[in-house]
Amino acid sequence: MKKTIKSFSIIGAGRVGLNLAAALVQKGFILKKVSDRFYSRARKAVKIIGQGQATKSNLLAATSAEIILISVPDCQLTEVAEEISILDYPGKFVFHTSGAFSSSVLKPLSKKGARVASLHPIQTFALTEPDPRIFKGIFFGLEGDQEAIQLGAIMAKKLSGQVLLISAENKPAYHLACSIASNFLIILLNEVKNLFSPLGINEELTLEIITPLINETLHNVKKLGFEASLTGPIIRGDLETVKRHLAVTHDQAALDRIYRAMALEALSLAKRRGLPEDKIKALRQLLAHK
């Protein structure tokens, strides 16, 4: 980078855009415009951040800064890129924050001189207010033009984050991995809550009960690795316990499918861990046939 590039605009004032803009402002970047199809949301973001101007015009946002961060839902990316491609972008940088799409969706802007990249924070954004710590230590999936990658890496470092360089063709698998780690974990925990509920245990108490278990599991994985950390009836080849589990899931179709699929995957790990073949065969037959 020959000069320090600090002015930026945000297109899309949802949770990701709001958090990213607030964090960048705290690190000395200058917010020019916040654009959103809902003007009230753009105005609220500006009020929370304490900098910038709200607008409904994506074109105005794009002309106002050296860096344009597009943080809209994936289904709107192509539309936004086409909309603002009527402008020329010599010397400007355009990033989108999608995990699933590559920077190729910004090709109309690249043709107009923009350096483009995808800059995806590997983090979940559930809160409606910005969290100043939310980017600390996280990885940013980064892919695109070399100059844009260089600037994206600078931005990630300013936010106390790290960079994971990925190729365009690997974006779908990369995003699937992130989604399973976050979204599907919530689905599994919700099933845990549902199992505890008939016992008179509410959501708050469920979290108190399982949080130490989850924390120790993550600690074990970090210390021992994934395969060596697996415990429970599958890894032990405990057929009778698995039968008792299946008796519970029998009348809960969704849970039963999840349990059987996960247990069969656990069985693959158990095989590598040396579980005897007769136990593997018995468990596989039990899990494969309802």
Convert the pLDDT of each residue in 6-42 to its tens digit. 999 999 999 999 999 999 999 999 999 999 999 999 9
State pLDDT tens for residues 179-228: 999 999 999 999 999 999 999 999 999 999 999 999 999 999 999 999 99
Average pLDDT rounded to a whole number, residues 254-277:
95
Structural tokens at position 135: 């980017």
Local confidence band at 3 (pLDDT 50, 70, 90 cut-offs)? low
For 232, the token pair is 């429970």
Say if residue 142 is in the same domain as residue 253.
Answer: no
Picking from 170, 51, 161, the residue whose alpha carbon sits closest to that of residue 104 is: 170
% of the chain at pLDDT higher than 90: 94
- Closest by CA to 153, choosing from 141, 167, 169, is 141
Give the burial class of 68: count Cβ atoms within 10 A of its Cβ; 0-12 exposed, 13-18 middle, 19 or more buried.
buried
**Domain hosting residue 130, numbered range:** 7-166
d(CA 20, CA 8): 11
In a domain, 2, yes or no: no
34 membership: H or E segment, kind and range: strand 30-35
pLDDT in tens, 58-109: 999 999 999 999 999 999 999 999 999 999 999 999 999 999 999 999 999 9
Which whole number is the average pLDDT over 141-165? 97
Q: Are residues 19 and 146 in the same domain?
A: yes
Is 128 or 17 the better-scoring residue by pLDDT?
17
- Into how many domains does the chain fold? 2
pLDDT tops 80 at residue 266? yes
Residue 12 shares a structural domain with residue 155? yes
Identify residue 34 by its one-letter amino acid code. Answer: V
Same-domain check for residues 138 and 67: yes
Residue 1 predicted with pLDDT over 60: no
19 occurs within a structural domain: yes
Q: Are residues 199 and 158 in the same domain?
A: no
User: For residue 227, what pLDDT is reported?
Assistant: 93
Residue 290 has pLDDT above 80, yes or no: no
Of 166, 182, 205, the residue that ends a domain is 166
**What's the CATH number where 62 sits?**
3.40.50.720
Residues 245-271 have a mean pLDDT of 95
Q: Is 1 part of any domain?
A: no
Q: What is the mean pLDDT of the chain?
A: 95
Kindly indicate the confidence band of residue 128, based on its pLDDT and cuts at 50, 70 and 90: confident
Q: Are residues 17 and 143 in the same domain?
A: yes
pLDDT the model gives residue 289: 78
Per-residue tokens: 225: 């690795």
> Which of 149, 166, 183 delimits the end of a domain?
166
Residues 6+ apart with CB under 8 A from 88: 112, 113
Dihedral sign, CA of 107, 108, 111, 112?
negative
Shared domain for 191 and 116, answered yes or no, is no
Do 180 and 284 fall into the same domain?
yes
End of a domain among 131, 166, 201?
166
Together in a domain, 71 and 198:
no
In this structure, the answer to whether residues 113 and 15 fall within a common structural domain is yes
Query: What integer pLDDT is reported at residue 61 of this predicted model?
Result: 97
Cβ count within 10 A of residue 200: 7
Mind spelling out the 3-state secondary structure of 79-143?
HHHHHHCCCCCCCCEEEECCCCCCHHHHHHHHCCCCEEEEEEECCCCCCCCCCCCCCCCCEEEEE
**Closest of 46, 56, 64 to residue 80, by C-alpha:** 56
Q: Which pLDDT belongs to residue 2?
A: 52
**The domain spanning residue 216 has which CATH number?**
1.10.1040
Within a domain: residue 191? Answer: yes
63 plus 129 within the same structural domain: yes
What pLDDT score does 5 carry? 80
Is residue 201, in this structure, part of any structural domain at all?
A: yes
Structure tokens at 170: 């690997």
Is 146 found in the same domain as 24? yes
